[in-house]
Amino acid sequence: MAFDPKKHHRQSIRLQGYDYSQAGAYFVTVVTHQRECLFGKIENGEMILNELGKIADECWRAIPEHFPFVELGVHVIMPNHMHGMIVIRADDPGIGRGAAMLRPYDDDDGNAHKINVKPGSLGAIIRSYKSAVSYRSNKEHNVTGVWQRNYYEHIIRNEHEMDNIWRYIGSNPAQWDDDDENPRRAMP
């Protein structure tokens, strides 16, 4: 079937007209390709990271090293997804809004490819994170196809939401049996 941009375009799940590079707090969820449990397992309500899970955790913790205007809140790596809070601070003037963890958009000759993500935006941060995890997973463990396309985000609007999300993320491993991302939940 030929590509028809009127039929085959992906609808954005982002809030239309919202500037995701502006200061604010964001709750993000990133899911593995086909919800495959790549990052470890839950035992007695605790997440046990395997080698790929450790990579995902290390790359998440490294985000502020590459995007100095970002602070991280609570996060958790789950067997087939991750949840985290990102706070983009207003103290950065918006110039030089961070460097990607790697340069995944350069080809082998160092030629940059056009990207449609605003530098310093939440999308740029998550793209860089996903790319870094994918790169290291492939290089260190010969694993490809780590992530599904896109990610889920929620703009945190007040302290009450922040507190609820903080609790949700912190209790996520203990709730794994009831988690919508748990593939065993779909089995009869």
Topology (CATH) of 18-174: Alpha-Beta Plaits (3.30.70)
Output the pTM of the full model.
Answer: 0.80
Angle at 77 between CA 72 and CA 83, to 5 degrees: 55
| Alpha-carbon distance values, 145 to 7, 40, 53, 98, 158 (Å) | 26, 16, 14, 26, 36
| Higher per-residue confidence, 129 vs 98 | 129
pLDDT in tens, 104-126: 444 444 444 444 677 889 999 99
In which residue are the tokens 């046990």 written?
48
C-alpha span between 84 and 77 (Å, rounded): 9
Extended beta strands in the chain, E state: 24-31, 40-43, 46-49, 70-77, 81-88, 152-156
**High-pLDDT (> 90) share of the chain, %:** 65
The residues with which 116 forms a beta bridge, in sequence order, are: none
